[in-house]
Amino acid sequence: MEIKAIRGFSDILPPATRRWRMLEERAREVLEGFGFSEIRVPILEKAELFSRSIGTETDIVEKEMYTFEDRGGDLITMRPEATASIVRAYIEHKMYAADPMAKLYSIGPMFRHERPQKGRYRQFHQINVEVFGISHPMIDAEVMAIVMHYVSLVGAAGCRLQVNSLGCPRCRLPYTKNLRAFLSDHLPHLCEDCRRRMERNPLRAFDCKVQGCQDIMSEAPLVSDYLCTECADHFAAVRNYLEALGIAYEPNPRMVRGLDYYTKTAFEVVAGGLGAQNAVAAGGRYDHLVAALGGPDIPGIGFAIGIERLLLVLPDESLPPGPSLFIAALGEGPQREAFSLSYKLNQVGARTMIDYEGRSLKAQMRRADKFGAHYVLIIGEDEQRSGKAILRDMKEKKQEEIPLPSIFEEIMRRMGEGSP
């Protein structure tokens, strides 16, 4: 009986892995350029970390977490998102001690038990970006500028930035009261989840996927109409700084994000053609999360880019590999020569491959083709005797003889130029 991967968990095979690495490498370059440093946090955390940060009434915590008791009887969760873990680490290691400002990023897998569908998996991957210690609206605009810069750099098509303000606890109080009144007027037509959540967390009704609830919520009062002076000023300043950077955006007053910890700025990067699950990236400010998880009163803002979603809006072409060399050797002497030469080239970073089985030139050329070799070096017994080898350029379809003693230098020079 063949064992298959778990539903919603995918293998990432070559050559797709090359595109994944490109996305990860570009993210590192962009983020390090903006002064971010990488943080690596564990995949497993205490379950409580997520119920306390994301919120107990949310879909993620109520329905989607991989939570289990480990052998010691502790309640453990496979992280459904990275922010809570990064905040936990920031507090645990007192990263705020010398300076509360920290710009951190992390790349890795997340786990949610959702219904698998296009671009949505139970193990999915995110690039996570978090900034601590800055309440100035400039940073809100900067993190949005970073995500827009990144998606355009990697070639994602048709990405639009949507922004909203979710206010602070002060302006949310009167808003929540009115939203609750609105929901209770429509109580008979709400689903069970929304009825239950109405008392403790009415904002979550905006996330409901039931069509009837969505129709009702399209008429619901909006938090953006209830912002206090401070939140309204902050939101106006954020939009102003976005404009200063030339970043196009659309206000979306219905976007509330599916997590409880957001305050003030919330944003999503959406792409046409992704349907209902159209967010490629999303994030927002979380000014009270550090304190809620037992740290000092330090503001934060961050976002996550979904790698699988991003791949859906990237052009399909596969990335060309760098210049590479296949060494085809015929006979035992040449095979030894090829074996050593290939190792020497591999050690200095050249992409090189040989045939190990002493097969025919035709079979070796087929393997060279599969490897995507730009060049094939052919060493036969005759060539070895005369101290020469043939270098064939597979792209230009031409070949030349190269003296064996200087072959390493000759090949390195050509590979370096990218076009021997």
Closer residue to Zn ion in complex, CB, 198/281? 198
**Hey, which residues between 84 and 143 contact Zn ion (CB under 5 A)?**
none
Closer residue to Zn ion in complex, CB, 235/326? 235
Instruction: Tally Cβ neighbours within 10 Å of residue 20.
Output: 15
CB of 89 to Zn ion, least distance (A): 28
Q: Which of 49, 191, 361, 390 binds Zn ion (CB under 5 A)?
A: 191
Q: Which of 231, 266, 279, 311 binds Zn ion (CB under 5 A)?
A: 231
Q: Which of 139, 203, 213, 338 binds Zn ion (CB under 5 A)?
A: 213
Phi, psi of 250 (to 5 degrees): -125, 130
Q: Is 170 left (phi over 0), alpha (psi -120 to 50) or beta?
A: alpha
Q: Is residue 307 involved in binding Zn ion (CB under 5 A)?
A: no
CB of 315 to Zn ion, least distance (A): 38
Give me the residues paired with residue 128 across strands.
Answer: 106, 304
Token pair of 158 as six digits: 């048709």
Q: Is residue 228 involved in binding Zn ion (CB under 5 A)?
A: yes
Q: Which of 16, 89, 101, 210 binds Zn ion (CB under 5 A)?
A: 210
Q: Is residue 223 involved in binding Zn ion (CB under 5 A)?
A: no
CB of 166 to Zn ion, least distance (A): 9
Closer residue to Zn ion in complex, CB, 198/376? 198
Q: Is residue 208 involved in binding Zn ion (CB under 5 A)?
A: yes
Angle, vertex CA 320, rays to CA 318 and CA 321, nearest 5: 125
Q: Is residue 145 involved in binding Zn ion (CB under 5 A)?
A: no
Stretch that binds Zn ion, among 45-53, 120-128, 201-209, 372-380 (CB under 5 A): 201-209
Q: Which of 194, 377, 379, 415 binds Zn ion (CB under 5 A)?
A: 194
Q: CA–CA distance from 351 to each of 169, 338, 415 (Å)?
A: 57, 14, 9
CB of 92 to Zn ion, least distance (A): 30
Token pair of 375 as six digits: 């060049």
Buried-state track 296-334, b at ≥16 Cβ within 10 A, e below 16 = eebbbbbbbbbbbbbbbbbeeeeeeeebbbbbbbbeeeb
Closer residue to Zn ion in complex, CB, 39/166? 166
Task: For residues 373 and 416, give the distance between their C-alpha atoms in angstroms, rounded to a whole number.
Answer: 15
Given the structure tokens 């090949």, which residue do they identify? 411
Q: Is residue 44 involved in binding Zn ion (CB under 5 A)?
A: no
Number of residues engaging Zn ion in binding (CB under 5 A): 11
- Are 278 and 270 contacting, i.e. CB atoms less than 8 angstroms apart? yes
Give the DSSP per-residue string, 7-51: TT-----TTHHHHHHHHHHHHHHHHHHTT-EE----SEEEHHHHH
Stretch that binds Zn ion, among 105-113, 168-176, 338-346, 412-420 (CB under 5 A): 168-176
Closer residue to Zn ion in complex, CB, 187/245? 187
- Closest to 249 in 3D by CA, of 234, 233, 269, 263: 269
Stretch that binds Zn ion, among 26-34, 221-229, 275-283, 341-349 (CB under 5 A): 221-229
Token pair of 409 as six digits: 């230098």
Token pair of 66 as six digits: 């991989």
Give the DSSP per-residue string, 158-193: SEEEEEEE---HHHHHHHHHHHHHHHHHTGGGS-HH
Q: How far apart are the first and last CA of the chain?
A: 50
CB of 30 to Zn ion, least distance (A): 32
Q: Is residue 290 involved in binding Zn ion (CB under 5 A)?
A: no
Stretch that binds Zn ion, among 85-93, 159-167, 246-254, 335-343 (CB under 5 A): 159-167
Helix (H, G, I), strand (E, B) or coil at 127: strand
Stretch that binds Zn ion, among 4-12, 63-71, 169-177, 320-328 (CB under 5 A): 169-177
Residues that bind Zn ion (CB under 5 A): 167-168, 170-171, 191, 194, 208, 210, 213, 228, 231
